[in-house]
C-alpha cells in the first residue's frame, strides 16, 4: 500500500515548526507504524535529508516511551494500545496520515515528534513512593492484602507514564497519571502512613508544572493505552479533600 504522511518537523525546542509531506510507497500491512517510519527514515538518510525524530524503545507497549498524535488521536485510531503497537493494517491504502507530537505546555517539544516529559518524574519525586530504605523490611506475607485491593492497585499501577492522557485532555491535565499512582498506594496498607502528605505534595507539584485542571471530561480514560479508569481520579479527589482537613 501507499500512504502520505504529514509530519510535524521542528528542529529544536525554540525553533518554529511546520508540517511536511512525505509519500511512502511499498508499505506492507504487516508492518508496524514505526517500521513504516523506519523505512521512510532510511530513505531520507540516503537522500541526504534529515530523518524524522521520534521516541520509542520497547516497541511492545510497555516502556511508555512512544507517543504520537495520529489523525488527531493520541496513539492513533485504535483504543487500548500504544503507538508502537499500531500496525499499518489499521490504515487504508492511499490515505493521508497526520502525525504530530504530544502538545501540552508541560511537555515542550525537543525535536520533531519528541517531547520532554521530565515533569512526570518530578511529580513522582514529590511523593510517588513509600519512604522505606533497602533492608529491614518485614516478611512479604506478614501483611495479607485482600485480592480485590491488590488487583485494583495493580490496575492503577499499570500506567506506563506515556502522557497520552495529558495530550488528549483539552486542559492538558495530568490527573489520570497522578491519580493512578496515588490510587495504587492508597489501596495498599503499605501506603497508609504517607497517605495524606503524598496526595498533597503530588497535586501541588502537578500545579507547579503547569498542567491544567481536571474538568472531568473523561477524554483521558478513552485514550489511555492501559485503560486506566477515571475511578482513580475520583479516589484522588476524595483523598485530596480528606488531606485538607
Question: DSSP states of 147-205 as a string?
Answer: HHHHHHHHHHHT-----HHHHHSTT---HHHHHHHHHHHHHSGGGGGGHHHHHHHHHHH
Comparison of 157 and 231: residue with beta carbon closer to ligand FES:
157
Q: Which of 44, 98, 222, 231 binds another protein (CB under 8 A)?
A: 44
Residue 61 interacts with ligand FES (CB under 6 A): yes or no: yes
- The span of 95-103, 124-132, 186-194, 218-226 binding ligand SF4 (CB under 6 A) equals 218-226
CB neighbours (10 Å) of residue 22? Answer: 19
Q: Give the footprint of ligand SF4 on residues 99-138 (CB under 6 A).
A: none
Per CB under 6 A, the segment of 17-25, 36-44, 137-145, 162-170 that binds ligand SF4 is 162-170
49-56 CB contacts, 8 Å cutoff, 24+ apart: 52/7, 52/9, 52/112, 52/113, 53/111, 53/112, 53/113, 53/114, 54/112, 54/113, 54/114, 55/113, 55/114, 55/115, 56/83, 56/84
Q: Which of 40, 41, 70, 82 is close enough to bind ligand FES by CB under 6 A?
A: 82
**Which residue in the set 14, 16, 30, 245 belongs to the binding site for another protein (CB under 8 A)?**
30
Which partner in ligand SF4, another protein, ligand FES, none is near 228 (CB below 5 to 8 A by kind)? ligand SF4
Of the pair 10, 183, the CB lying nearest ligand SF4 is at: 183
Give me 85's grid cell.
503497537
Cβ proximity to ligand SF4: between 7 and 165 the closer is 165
Please enumerate, as own/partner, the contacts of 17-20 that have beta carbons within 8 Å and a separation of 24 or more.
17/109, 19/98
Minimum CB separation of residue 116 from ligand FES in Å reads 17
Q: How far is the CB of 55 from ligand FES (least distance, A)?
A: 8
Binding residue (CB under 6 A) for ligand SF4 from 159, 185, 206, 230: 159
DSSP annotation of 11 = S
Choose one: 49-57, 130-138, 159-167, 183-191; the region binding ligand SF4 (CB under 6 A): 159-167
Q: How far is CA 9 from CA 50, 69, 99, 112, in A?
A: 10, 13, 10, 4
Contact residues toward ligand FES (CB under 6 A) are 56-59, 61-66, 82-84
Contact residues toward ligand SF4 (CB under 6 A) are 159-165, 176-177, 180, 224-226, 228
Amino acid at each position: 500500500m501507499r500512504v502520505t504522511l504529514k509530519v510535524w518537523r521542528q528542529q529544536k525546542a525554540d525553533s518554529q515548526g511546520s508540517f511536511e509531506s512525505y509519500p511512502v510507497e511499498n508499505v506492507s500491512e504487516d508492518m508496524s507504524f514505526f517500521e513504516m517510519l523506519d523505512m521512510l527514515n532510511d530513505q531520507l538518510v540516503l537522500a541526504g535529508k534529515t530523518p524524522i525524530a521520534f521516541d520509542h524503545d520497547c516497541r511492545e507497549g510497555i516502556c511508555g516511551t512512544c507517543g504520537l498524535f495520529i489523525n488527531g488521536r493520541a496513539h492513533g485510531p485504535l483504543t487500548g494500545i500504544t503507538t508502537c503497537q499500531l500496525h499499518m493494517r489499521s490504515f487504508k491504502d492511499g490515505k493521508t496520515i497526520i502525525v504530530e507530537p504530544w502538545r501540552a505546555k508541560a511537555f515542550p517539544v525537543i525535536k520533531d515528534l519528541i517531547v520532554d516529559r521530565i515533569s512526570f518524574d518530578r511529580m513522582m519525586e514529590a511523593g510517588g513512593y513509600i519512604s522505606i530504605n533497602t533492608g529491614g523490611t518485614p516478611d512479604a506475607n506478614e501483611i495479607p492484602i485482600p485480592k480485590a485491593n491488590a488487583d485494583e492497585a495493580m490496575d492503577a499501577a499499570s500506567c506506563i507514564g506515556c502522557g497520552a492522557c495529558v495530550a488528549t485532555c483539552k486542559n492538558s491535565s495530568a490527573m489520570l497519571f497522578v491519580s493512578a499512582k496515588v490510587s495504587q498506594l492508597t489501596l495498599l496498607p503499605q501506603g497508609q502512613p504517607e497517605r495524606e502528605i503524598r496526595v498533597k505534595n503530588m497535586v501541588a507539584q502537578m500545579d507547579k508544572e503547569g498542567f491544567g485542571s481536571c474538568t472531568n471530561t473523561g477524554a483521558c480514560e478513552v485514550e489511555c493505552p492501559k485503560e486506566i479508569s477515571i475511578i482513580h481520579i475520583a479516589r484522588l479527589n476524595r483523598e485530596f479533600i480528606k488531606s485538607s482537613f
